[in-house]
């Protein structure tokens, strides 16, 4: 579904991604794991078109994304739930969700999608008129995910959804990721919470200083000695 | 029904409009001086509202609104000087000239973000000022352009023209801010990358905000040429007297509020007239403005309209038996 082939990404003159290739198949949950600064978020931002690779290519459903401006990526069926939520704090919950459904196909079914988001996250319905900036961290994360779902994506990219949340909410977030997949949406997830991520991922790639150093099924990597030592603290 | 709910929403606006329209009939206000003050106030309201659209709602803080004001003013001046027609043709002509000018300025500056955008616009204003000073064949340089005979001696016609401009701008702002575009503008202000990845063509909407803001400011510039009868680059492209005052008007009144630019223009113009009339310290009015801005930023960061309740509380407390100290 998503194919990333041999990309190099630079911030100014600094190369942060070195010849990275990975792919995500329809219906999978694929995880990118690695330490701080490994380049995980950069990879998602590259898929979103916010940063452009200097070398290599990205295709989604067979279509190259190199020439697609960032605001049209969502029309292709890719939604991004960015790191630190990136909500519009001075807008209400409802307005944030509405802005998730701008492409015509999603707009036509907006009321329907919003009902579904509210059914999944009843807390958001209770607070539909509240400003997003006044929600708790967990509620904000749910809203960010809800906003991503509003575009009726084929693939949803999560960037550190568990960041800064209490353990109970982290549980909830991973449950949401499972539900999203169960609804037929492909998932690409970036996380530092390696154990829980590998537990739900079909496949995962381990990223170290901008290079992919390991790749395997979630279970394999959970058992991998190196991964255990480096990320699971065993 | 629709009409009555419309009226309920805009009762204040309707009252303000009636009051402003009737102002010249009030004997105390019907002096040349008072009308001049009112005209200035309305001019600044329009400039403030336009700045508010680009910088308040869309979050692209401009330090160069003098560029648009000056372009509009010179469109009228040059048409009069070289075209041999009435300077009033400058109003419709400025829409085209400033519209195109804004596109160019937007093309250059809108790729910059935050403080860099602000500096870019600031530079644009200065570039245009120096250009106007040096293109003497077109602009008469620092000599400026003088309109030999102003259209009317009385102030009333000017007053009603600028009032119409203010009402038109107010209506445009209301329509825009409540429209789909208004939401896009705010989304861009709050988080440009998030807006972009949700499918908003941020470059396009930032350009729209900039062009509308520029054109409305340019119209005031063209009006100014006809009203004052004299322009020179020092005045109409002024960084301190136009660009910075524009920002102050909106900050004092309240950024991204409906009435902020009006309140700000009223306060700034009245204050500036009062301070200038004071003996000795009158010449220091800019210093006092600076102090005022600092006070506003510390105590009323959302401006007079944005912190309306706070102002109300302060006033009430002031009226009640005095209590020592502040917050």
Which chain B residue has the Cα nearest residue A84? B194
The 10s digit of each residue's pLDDT in A60-98 is 999 999 889 999 999 899 999 988 778 999 899 999 999
Query: Does the pLDDT of residue B324 top 80, yes or no?
Result: no
pLDDT band of residue B24 (cuts 50, 70, 90) is: confident
With CB atoms and an 8 Å threshold, state whether B197 touches A100: no
Mean predicted confidence (pLDDT) in A104-131 = 91
> Does the CB of A82 have a partner CB in chain B at under 8 Å?
yes
How close does chain B come to A200, measured CA to CA in Å? 26
Distance from CA of B200 to the nearest CA of A (A): 5
Contact by Cβ (8 Å): B244, B229: no
State how far the Cα of B78 lies from the Cα of B73, in Å rounded to an integer: 9
The pTM assigned to this predicted structure is: 0.86
B28-326 — its CATH code? 1.10.3470
Instruction: Look at residue B291 in the predicted model and tell me its pLDDT.
Output: 85
CB pairs under 8 A between A and B: 59
* pLDDT over 90 (residue B206): yes
- The residue of A86, A87, A106 whose CB has the most chain B CBs within 10 angstroms, and thus the best one to mutate to test that interface, is A86
> Chain B contact for A147, CB < 8 A?
yes
Question: A37 or B156: which carries more pLDDT confidence?
Answer: B156
The distance from CA B102 to its chain's CA centroid, rounded to whole angstroms, is 16
N- to C-terminal Cα distance for chain A? 35
In residues, how long is chain B? 327
How many CA within 13 A on the CB side of residue A97? 27
Q: How many other C-beta atoms are found inside a 10 Å radius of the C-beta of residue A168?
A: 8
**Band (B229; pLDDT cuts 50, 70, 90):** very high
Of A88, A102, A151, the CB nearest to B191: A88
> Across residues B160-188, what is the average pLDDT?
95
Give me the pLDDT at residue B326, please.
Answer: 34
According to the model, what pLDDT value does residue B327 have? 31
Q: Is A73 at the interface with chain B, CB within 8 A?
A: yes
Distance from CA of B305 to the nearest CA of A (A): 17
- The mean of the pLDDT values for chain B is 89
User: Residue A73: is it exposed, middle or buried by C-beta count within 10 angstroms (0-12/13-18/19+)?
Assistant: buried
Please report the DSSP string for A193-211 in residue order: -HHHHHHH-SEEEEEETTE
Range with top average pLDDT, A190-194, A208-212, B159-163: B159-163
Q: Quick one: how far is CA B83 from the chain centroid?
A: 28
User: What ipTM describes this predicted complex?
Assistant: 0.81
Is the pLDDT confidence value at B149 over 90?
no
């Amino acid at each position: 579904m998503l194919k990333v082939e041999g990309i190099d990404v630079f911030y100014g003159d600094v190369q942060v991604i070195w010849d990275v290739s990975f792919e995500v198949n329809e219906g999978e949950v694929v995880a990118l794991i690695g330490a701080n600064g490994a380049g995980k978020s950069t990879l998602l931002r590259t898929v979103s078109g916010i940063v452009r690779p200097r070398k290599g290519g990205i295709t989604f459903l067979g279509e190259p994304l190199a020439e697609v401006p960032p605001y049209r990526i969502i029309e292709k069926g890719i939604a991004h739930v960015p790191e630190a939520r990136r909500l519009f704090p001075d807008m209400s919950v409802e307005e944030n969700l509405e802005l998730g459904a701008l492409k015509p196909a999603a707009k036509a079914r907006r009321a329907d999608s919003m009902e579904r988001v509210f059914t999944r996250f009843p807390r958001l319905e209770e607070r539909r008129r509240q400003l997003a900036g006044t929600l708790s961290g967990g509620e904000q994360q749910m809203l960010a995910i809800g906003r991503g779902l509003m575009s009726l994506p084929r693939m949803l990219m999560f960037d550190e959804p568990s960041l800064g949340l209490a353990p109970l909410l982290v549980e909830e977030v991973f449950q949401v990721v499972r539900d999203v997949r169960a609804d037929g949406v492909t998932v690409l997830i970036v996380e530092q919470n390696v154990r829980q991520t590998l537990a739900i991922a079909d496949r995962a790639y381990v990223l170290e200083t901008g290079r992919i150093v390991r790749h395997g099924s979630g279970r394999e990597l959970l058992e991998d000695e190196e991964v255990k030592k480096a990320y699971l603290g065993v | 029904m629709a009409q009555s709910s419309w009226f309920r929403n805009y009762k204040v606006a309707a009252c303000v409009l009636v009051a402003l329209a009737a102002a010249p009939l009030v004997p105390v206000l019907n002096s040349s001086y008072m009308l001049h003050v009112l005209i200035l106030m309305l001019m600044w309201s329009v400039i403030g509202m336009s700045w508010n659209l680009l910088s308040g709602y869309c979050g692209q803080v401009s330090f160069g609104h003098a560029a648009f004001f000056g372009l509009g003013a010179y469109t009228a001046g040059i048409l009069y000087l070289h075209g041999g027609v009435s300077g009033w043709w400058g109003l419709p002509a400025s829409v085209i000239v400033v519209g195109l000018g804004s596109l160019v300025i937007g093309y250059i500056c809108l790729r910059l973000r935050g403080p860099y955008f602000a500096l870019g616009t600031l530079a644009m204003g200065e570039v245009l000022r120096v250009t106007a000073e040096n293109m003497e064949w077109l602009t008469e340089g620092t000599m400026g352009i003088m309109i030999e005979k102003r259209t009317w001696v009385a102030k009333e016609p000017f007053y009603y023209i600028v009032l119409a401009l203010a009402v038109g701008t107010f209506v445009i702002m209301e329509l825009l801010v409540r429209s789909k575009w208004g939401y896009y503008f705010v989304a861009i202000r709050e988080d440009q990358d998030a807006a972009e990845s949700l499918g908003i063509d941020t470059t396009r909407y930032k350009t729209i905000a900039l062009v509308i803001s520029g054109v409305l400011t340019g119209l005031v510039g063209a009006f100014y040429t006809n009203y004052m009868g004299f322009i020179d680059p020092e005045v109409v492209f002024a960084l301190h007297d136009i660009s910075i005052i524009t920002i102050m008007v909106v900050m004092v009144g309240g950024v991204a509020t409906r009435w902020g630019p009006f309140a700000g223009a009223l306060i700034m113009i009245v204050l500036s007239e009062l301070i200038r009339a004071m003996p000795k310290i009158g010449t220091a009015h800019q210093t006092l403005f600076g102090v005022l801005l600092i006070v506003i930023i510390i105590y009323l960061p959302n401006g007079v309209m944005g912190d309306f309740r706070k102002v109300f509380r302060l006033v009430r407390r002031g009226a009640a038996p005095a209590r020592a100290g502040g917050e």
